[in-house]
Structure formats: structure tokens, C-alpha cells
Structure 1
Amino acid sequence: MTIRIALVEDDEDDADTLSSFISKFFNSDHSKFSIIRFNNGDDFLEKYSAQINLIFMDIEMPGTNGMASAQKLRKIAPETPLIFSTRLSQFASIGYNVDALGYLLKPLNYHAFVIPMRKAVKHIASRSTVTLTLCTNGRDEFVSSARIKFVEVRGHILYYHIDDEKWKIWGSLKSASEQLYDAGFILCNRYCLVNPQWIDSINGNTLTIGSDTVTISRNKKKKLLKTLLQYHES
């Protein structure tokens, strides 16, 4: 999924520094993140969208300061990850009143940035689910992607491994991949999509998901391992 990041910062140099840190964290892969910049808290609150996954908020800003903006934010978005930045260390303790994941003390430092950033990405990944409507046994069922371990295709039939069951659904793996893209599912071969949170181990060209084993094709392995490493490092 692409993580949508709001950067609320009135200082251009600090905004540029945070943008460079974010780019470095994701290895400059812009398919994994996008940044929306705001100059102050009032502008951010006016244009806030539920599509935003992560917020960096400066505390000392003209108009409505970062702390007051965060208090207003929590009334409409109680769980969106929030990281403060400030030149004043005494603001750190009150940041937890609005459930901030952490704070960055200016001048900004990349190594200090990485710690709350990893926490934020992990938080986002744990909540990055989509809901699918699957027709099984003649009726539509709503299924959270978090319950799906992997999806395999045989002919024109998809087999969704959900909890301890296997659901048989007519469809294509391409359509399933598009539906599960934002949930972070990984294509491990031309016939199978896997949910990284269910992968127990990888041994050679085989991965284990509970009592099931799935083959990793040679041309998919490098990308799969990279994606899986980023998933666990976050």
C-alpha cells in the first residue's frame, strides 16, 4: 500500500529535512509513500482527509499551534498515527495526552526519526485491511483481508484460505490481487497471493503458512523477500 503522510510544518528547511528522511526510510520508492505538506494547523484541519495514514506535526506554529491542532484532530481521527516535532523538550510529556507515537527534537536527526517512524509503519500495517465481498454457498459474505492467509487459483476458480477453511470462488487472480493490493498481499508465483502476516517461515523456494506450504517462483523471490523484510522491519 502507499502510505499517505501529512507534513504539518511552517519551517521550510525542517519540512525539507523531514521529507528527505521519509524518502530515505522508504529507499526513495515513491510507490510506498506520498507526502502532503501543510504550512499550519488551521490549513491542515480544513483540508484533512481520512485517507491520511500518518501525520508529522510541528508544535510551534503560527495560528493554531500543533498541540491544539492535535486535540481537534483527535475528535475526528482518534487513531491516526501522530508524531510531533519541537525545539522544546518540555512538550514531549504532554504529547501523550493526544496519543502521539513520539516526538522529534529539533534540530532533526535521522536516527532519532527512525524509531517512531518504524512504530508508525507497524501501526499502519496492523490496520491496513480491506473488506471483500465473497459469494459462497449462494450468498454474499463480508470478509476482512486480515483473515485471509493466501489465495490460489486453479483454472478459473479461486481458493481463499480463510481461518481454517478454504472457500471456492469464481474469479481471476488478477482481480483478487487488485482487491487485496492495499492490504499488502504478495504474489509469490503466478498462481498464488499470500498475506505476509501469516507467513511462518521460508525455506529455499518454499514458504510455510500454518500447515500449508507454497512454492516461490524464481522470478518472484527477490521482490517477495524484500517486501517481507520491510514488513518485519517496520
Structure 2
Amino acid sequence: MWSQLTSLLAAATLETLYMVAVAVVLGTIMGLPLGVLLATTGRGEMLESPAFQRIAGAIVNIGRSLPFIILVVAIIPFTRLLVGTTIGTTAAIVPLTLGIVPFIARVVEGAVREVDPGLIEAARAMGARPWQVVTKVLLPEALPGLIHGLTLTIVTLIGYSAMVGAVGGGGLGDLGIRYGYQRFRPEVMLAVVVLLVVMVQLVQAAGDHLARRVNRRAR
């Protein structure tokens, strides 16, 4: 029995890691530029476009306010269109990614806004183009905050990945529901909870360590 449980836990853990890793990469690809634009398109800012900022900000706020489990159900047709199914870990990546993009965008916006405006003005005075200011000044200076934000994002995604188990998304959440809750096996539920806690602790510790390493002000 224990060997079977160990095998199930190992497979479910790998599925959870797969979902979270892919969703983080895809979410960052979409959320990072959106966050930078939100931080630099306000009135009087480097890429001034108040209309874009208002519209994008409203969309991001709507995305953040929508409960994740409702998002999962609401985009079922889109998920099926995109990956051909609504069951399994690959299908779960779609709502996980869409659910985390607004979160990442706001994290990036906050980190970029904390950069000293004097550095931006100095770079522009030396003739730097906007994309050079973003890549050479804003993102490097905001890196510690970005790492903290992405760490929090990954922790949130781990919780979201457990939720998609309720709708057949696979991973540790699915294992806990099908083998723990529905079959009245509390040891499975306990093992799932312990693994999720360990994953969160490891991610948080790694993120904090990396943020300290890259924080120039701490050197």
C-alpha cells in the first residue's frame, strides 16, 4: 500500500511542478511587458499613453478580481479550443497562466515604480532610447522586487494548481481529492498537504536567497 502511495505522490508532484513551471514561464512572458507598460504609460511618463493605461489597468483589475475557480470554469470552451481537452495537466496550464498574468503585471508595475526616477532621467539625458531605459535601468534596478514578486507568484500558483485538481486538472490537488477525500484515506490528504507545504517553503526560501544575492543595495 505504501509503495503504491509513494508512486502516486511522486507522479502527482511531478505533474504539479510541470503545471506551475510552464504557467510561470508563460505568465511571465505575457505579464512582464504588460507590467512595464502599466508603469511607463501614465501621464508625463516615458511612454505616455493614458488611454492605454486606463484600458489595460481596467482589464488587469478585472482579471485579479475574478475568483480562480470561476475562471477555470468560465474558459472551458477556450481551453478545449486551445489544447483539445479540458482534463489533465496540459489543460490546467491554460487557466493557471491566464489567472496569473494580471498578478504578475501588477507585481512588475510595483517593482518598476520603485526605481529611482533620477536614474531614468539620467539615462534619458544621455540619449538612451525607451527600450534601452527599460532593459538597462528599469529591469536591473527592479530585479530584487521582481524576484520577490515572482516568488509570491509561484507560491500562489502552487495553491491554484491544487484547486484545478477539483476539476480534473491532475497534480497533488487531484490526488488529494480522488484518493484522499473521496476514498476516505486521511493519510493521503496528510501526505498531499505536507508536500504542498514543503514546496512552498522551498520556493520561498530560494526566492528570498536569490533576491538578497541580486540586491545591489545590500552589497
Greater relative contact order: 1 or 2 (C-alpha under 8 angstroms, separation 6 or more)?
2
TM-score with structure 2 length normalisation?
Answer: 0.32
TM-score with structure 1 length normalisation?
Answer: 0.31
**Structure richer in strand, relative to its length:** 1
